[in-house]
Structure 1
Amino acid sequence: MAADGPGKKKHGVLFDVDGTLIDSSYFHAMAWWQAFRREGLDIEMSAIHRRVGMGGDKLIQSLVPDCTEDMQEELKAGHSAVFSTFWPSLRTFDSVRDLLAACSDAGLAVGLASSAQERDLEVSRHLLDAASSIDAWTSSNDAKESKPAPDILEACLEKLGLGPEDVVFVGDAVWDVKAGAAIGVPVIALTCGGISEAELRDAGAAEVYDNPRHLLEHLESSMIGKLMTGSLDA
């Protein structure tokens, strides 16, 4: 679903949501851990966390290669059920609304390139409380293949009416960086999702900041600042 539309905005910023704008990565890891345990699978929490940001289907396949289709559906349902119990505990990272507003006020189209389930995304959008700064958003319904495939980024670009050369993507996971690279979108990575700067840079992140507040503090000198002034190299 999209908002009223970005109008004639020529450049934009795509934002991942979980782990980037919302402090939810570890809740997702816990939800997957409990889902696996319900199916009699003892998967280490650290192994799960390193895969958060992948689509659920790929996360499961990576951890349980011989998983049947029926078990995969049970695991997804279990994760969804457990994660919903954490909704009241979710919070935005510091300065998220100010970051989104700064991008929008500078004339950039702002898209939430999320592959979350629609009901989880609605919770996140309510927490963000930044409707006036957001031009478009996506959910898992908008992508055929999940990250690290770039489908969700392409869907968000289509809603904004922009191309890969017109935007920067802000994410927190290696899978975000890989998704951006697949279609030539530079990625600004944040470590607040729990992945180290070294790993994010090794994956190809163009810039790395601690969290949304840190990015906001350096916005003018960042790639987003260059988009604002039209000086970002194609």
Structure 2
Amino acid sequence: MLKAIIFDVDGVLVDSMLFQADAWVEAFKEVGITITRKDIYELEGSNDTRLIKAVFEKAGKEPEPEHFEQLPERKREFLEFDRIKPFEGIPECLNELKQHFKLAMVSGSNRITVGKVVDKFFSGYFDVVVNGSDLERGKPDPDPYLKALEMLNLTKNECIVIENAPLGITAAKRAGLYCVAVASMLEPEAVQHADLVLEEHAALLDYLKNLIPAEPHAE
């Protein structure tokens, strides 16, 4: 029986990936590495440490220890946070869902950014929040989703995951969870390893609303 829904954040709950990617592009430019938005979209869901390692590796370079602190800090400074908004219909949908299910948020973003998103848009909605600063191993390792299960005190069969990123889907599947993907930033082919692929947020909202148990008819 479904008891909880676990949500990724960027690209699922909030329309933020464009701004997140542009901020990383600017931060990496300062250390002489040129990347594109698509490079970040493909790494979305990674925590800061894993993302930095992957970008340096692709550029054929080795990060210095200070990069792991300085680059996320510069990225936060470049991030146009005020332009980030929830996807249309998401807050209202969450409000309905939380009457029936526990809700969890699992993000690869760091504690500061996730905290700002929760405070601004989703205060009081989520029973559990796991961010990229909480665990050494982030997505695509299963640890973030296993941590959410532990905090929810539920089994894998009692939860589903809503994702949008290839690494996040891999993490959910490695944790043994049913994963629904919304193809919000990448083409549907890039997220085909999910159990179910929805091509846009309107379809996601319909799917989520259909999970709500029907009211019993009065005799």
Give the TM-score, by structure 1 length. Answer: 0.81
1:81 maps to 2:70: no
Go from structure 1 to structure 2 and tell me whether the alpha carbon gap of 1:48 and 1:113 turns closer, same or farther (over 3 Å shift): closer
Task: Name the CA distance, whole Å, in 2 between partners of 1:28 and 1:216.
Answer: 23
Q: Corresponding residue for 2:187?
A: 196
**1:12 positional shift:** 0.6
Give, as a single letter, the amino acid of the residue that structure 2 aligns with 1:137: V
Q: Corresponding residue for 1:174?
A: 166
Aligned to 1:142, what secondary structure does the other structure show?
coil
Task: Name the CA distance, whole Å, in 1 between partners of 2:89 and 2:209.
Answer: 16
2:67 paired residue among 61, 71, 80: 71
Do the aligned residues in 1 keep the contact of 2:93 with 2:209 (CA within 8 Å)? no
Go from structure 1 to structure 2 and tell me whether the alpha carbon gap of 1:49 and 1:114 turns closer, same or farther (over 3 Å shift): closer
Do the aligned residues in 2 keep the contact of 1:10 with 1:162 (CA within 8 Å)? no
- The count of corresponding residues between Structure 1 and Structure 2 is 210
Aligned to 1:78, what secondary structure does the other structure show?
helix
**1:10 positional shift:** 6.6
Do the aligned residues in 2 keep the contact of 1:190 with 1:208 (CA within 8 Å)? yes
1:109 maps to 2:102: yes
Q: Corresponding residue for 2:206?
A: 217
1:143 paired residue among 135, 158, 162: 135
Task: Name the CA distance, whole Å, in 1 between partners of 2:39 and 2:122.
Answer: 32
Q: Corresponding residue for 2:39?
A: 47
Give, as a single letter, the amino acid of the residue that structure 2 aligns with 1:199: A
Task: Name the CA distance, whole Å, in 2 between partners of 1:185 and 1:120.
Answer: 26
1:122 maps to 2:122: no
Task: Name the CA distance, whole Å, in 2 between partners of 1:89 and 1:220.
Answer: 27
Go from structure 1 to structure 2 and tell me whether the alpha carbon gap of 1:123 and 1:210 turns closer, same or farther (over 3 Å shift): farther
Aligned to 1:148, what secondary structure does the other structure show?
coil
Give, as a single letter, the amino acid of the residue that structure 2 aligns with 1:214: A
Unaligned runs of 5+ in 2: 215-219
**1:44 positional shift:** 3.1
Task: Name the CA distance, whole Å, in 1 between partners of 2:48 and 2:213.
Answer: 35
Q: Corresponding residue for 2:217?
A: none
Aligned to 1:198, what secondary structure does the other structure show?
helix
Do the aligned residues in 2 keep the contact of 1:112 with 1:138 (CA within 8 Å)? yes
Task: Name the CA distance, whole Å, in 1 between partners of 2:188 and 2:44.
Answer: 16
Q: Corresponding residue for 1:205?
A: 194
Task: Name the CA distance, whole Å, in 2 between partners of 1:216 and 1:46.
Answer: 25
Task: Name the CA distance, whole Å, in 2 between partners of 1:96 and 1:211.
Answer: 13
Do the aligned residues in 2 keep the contact of 1:14 with 1:168 (CA within 8 Å)? yes
Task: Name the CA distance, whole Å, in 1 between partners of 2:83 and 2:209.
Answer: 32
Task: Name the CA distance, whole Å, in 1 between partners of 2:34 and 2:92.
Answer: 41
Q: Corresponding residue for 2:7?
A: 15
Unaligned runs of 5+ in 1: 1-8, 230-234
**1:228 positional shift:** 5.2
Task: Name the CA distance, whole Å, in 2 between partners of 1:159 and 1:211.
Answer: 30
Task: Name the CA distance, whole Å, in 2 between partners of 1:24 and 1:42.
Answer: 21
Do the aligned residues in 2 keep the contact of 1:113 with 1:139 (CA within 8 Å)? yes
Give the TM-score, by structure 2 length. Answer: 0.86
Task: Name the CA distance, whole Å, in 1 between partners of 2:195 and 2:43.
Answer: 21
Larger proportion of helix: 1
